[in-house]
Amino acid sequence: MSLDAYIAGLPKAELHLHIEGSLEPELMFELAQRNNVAIPFDSVEAVRAAYDFSNLQDFLDIYYAGANVLLTRRDFEDLAFAYFRRAAADNVRHAEIFFDPQTHTDRGVPFEVVVEGLVAGMDLARADLGVTSGLILSFLRHLSEDEAFATLEMAKPHLHHFIGVGLDSSEVGHPPSKFQRVFAAARDLGLKLCAHAGEEGPPAYVREALDLLHIDRMDHGN
């Protein structure tokens, strides 16, 4: 057996996956047509070319443009299950996925539509593919802590669906300390804590995530 075949056959856990970032160009175009949403790309090939990015912000620009096609419960279910099909093909047995509710609620998509759609995709993956999963609610760090608190409040009726909260989006200028109170509140609700730090920010952000947010898991940290 070759090394590649051996690695392909190993059971795997995926612990760092942004579900909106998994949107493939083909599905982006399908959902854009389904929902009559204009996107800034003329073809699947143009989207693939745009993913040849050189920095975080270029990726985020594509990420948010793609998210605009996600409007209904079915859209979020299709997004999640499309990821799980690809993951199962790589022998992923368990995945813990980030989602960014503020990306959608700020566009007028109800919080429960996002969660119910993703959970439906997760349930289908467990039943049809044998892939288990957990859902991590991520706060957008370029927004305010008050907005993060509002999102946490919206999450309270759905806490049983979440294994934790996270922190992502544009890092520079938005240190972990900005979210110290909301992370403490999330821990009081029984949620695990993780945060992106050191992806493009200074080492001090890694220290803050550890010493001020008291995270259970570091995302990036390099």
Distance CA 89, CA 91 (A): 5
Q: Do 219 and 16 form a contact (C-beta atoms < 8 A)?
A: yes
> Does 30 participate in catalysis according to the annotation?
no
Give dist(CA 107, CA 194) in Å, integer: 25
- DSSP 8-state class, residue 51: T
* Angle at CA of residue 201, ends 61 and 65, nearest 5°: 10
How far lies 120's CA from each of 124, 140, 184, 207, in Å?
A: 6, 24, 29, 37
Given the residues 116, 147, 199, 200, the one annotated as active site: 199
List residues with catalytic annotation. Answer: 199
